[in-house]
Amino acid sequence: MKTIFVVRLFLTLLFTTVALSAQDQGVSSPAPSNGVAASAVASVSPAPVVAASTNPVSSPCPQGMVCPHDEKMVLPSDIHPTLKSYCSVPVDGPYIAMSFDDGPSATLTPRLLDLLKQRGIKVTFFVIGQNVEHAPEIVARAAAEGHEIGNHTWDHPVLTKLSDARVQEEINKTSEAIFSATGKKPVLLRPPYGAMNPRVHRIVDQDGMKVILWSVDPNDWKRPGSAVVERRILAGAKPGAIILSHDIHPGTIEAMPATLDALLAKGYKFVTVSELIAMESQHSKATTTTPASSTAPTTKK
């Protein structure tokens, strides 16, 4: 009897510990896209994959730490002054770039494309290669309608934890899938979770691509509800901003009509990320030679 009690007590403690541990991972996970990628895949196909269980890295553009004053980020500048990533771009007009990660979603991305088309808005999609493979026609439509398609890796790993060869494979496979869907090779890469370091950055640079982070993160992957997503995006928007969101969550898509209309009403003009970078003001170029940060985003919260 006593033995049974002890065993039950042990099992209770064990389950409690496991439950708390699981809760911790769910609640405190700092990764902006963690968990998102898995549903991205689920929404497109039953394909396996995606590093949803990997629990890495913090959001790369925390409040004023990595991209203070909305300047172009240089990382880690003390050692590698030529490695540049973009959280936002100093521009001389009311230009803004919306970006949607982790798709395409078979159901939600077409809805978003309809909303964008109705408003004449161009955005940037950072797509996951294996999702492109399952829904190339959606990516083709997005490109045909003037949106930019960026590379978000094949299966959403933490690139900094992979070998050089694996990093290259993640990038190449995805770029090839995008090329076969759209006829164009992507020139932008958004690293999953914002995880980046000089080694991976150099590989991306050698591939002739730019590393794109963000300056506004509504944390829509936590599914806070469309009103909250809208409020956060409107609160963070400013000229030159790169806004992160995910076209694989219904709440994000539901937030878009009001969000986009409010941004239009404020006078913002929507451009793709590459167009935004091309608009970088000459004045800012001359004055932002001082590095914004000397630390890679992956080491910051």
Please list the active-site residues.
101, 246
HEC sequence for 211-263: EECCCECCCHHHCCCHHHHHHHHHHHCCCCEEEEEECCCHHHHHHHHHHHHHH
> Considering the complex, what minimum distance in angstroms separates the CB of residue 193 from Zn ion?
7
- CA dist 210 and 212 (Å) reads 6
Q: Which stretch binds Zn ion (CB under 5 A): 11-19, 102-110, 210-218, 273-281?
A: 102-110
Omega within 30 of 0 (cis) for the link into 90: no
Site for Zn ion in 15-74 (CB under 5 A): 33
Q: Which is nearer to Zn ion, 70 or 102 (CB)?
A: 102
Task: Give the binding-site size for Zn ion (rule: CB under 5 A).
Answer: 4
> Considering the complex, what minimum distance in angstroms separates the CB of residue 104 from Zn ion?
13
Instruction: Look at the block and give the residue holding tokens 């995008």.
Output: 178
Comparing every residue's Cβ against Zn ion, the nearest one is 33
Residue 210, φ and ψ in degrees, nearest 5: -100, 145
102 sits near Zn ion (criterion: CB under 5 A)? yes
- CA dist 51 and 31 (Å) reads 11
> Considering the complex, what minimum distance in angstroms separates the CB of residue 152 from Zn ion?
6
Q: Write the CB contacts of 146 (distance below 8 Å, at least 6 apart in sequence).
A: 122
272 sits near Zn ion (criterion: CB under 5 A)? no
3-state secondary structure (DSSP) of residue 15: helix
Q: Which is nearer to Zn ion, 33 or 182 (CB)?
A: 33
Task: From 27, 212, 191, select the one nearest 102 (Cα to Cα).
Answer: 191
Q: Which is nearer to Zn ion, 71 or 101 (CB)?
A: 101
Q: Which is nearer to Zn ion, 51 or 73 (CB)?
A: 51
State the pairing for strand pair 73-74/84-86.
antiparallel
> Considering the complex, what minimum distance in angstroms separates the CB of residue 156 from Zn ion?
6
226 sits near Zn ion (criterion: CB under 5 A)? no
> Considering the complex, what minimum distance in angstroms separates the CB of residue 37 from Zn ion?
6
Site for Zn ion in 134-193 (CB under 5 A): 192
**What residues make contact with Zn ion under the rule CB under 5 A?**
33, 101-102, 192
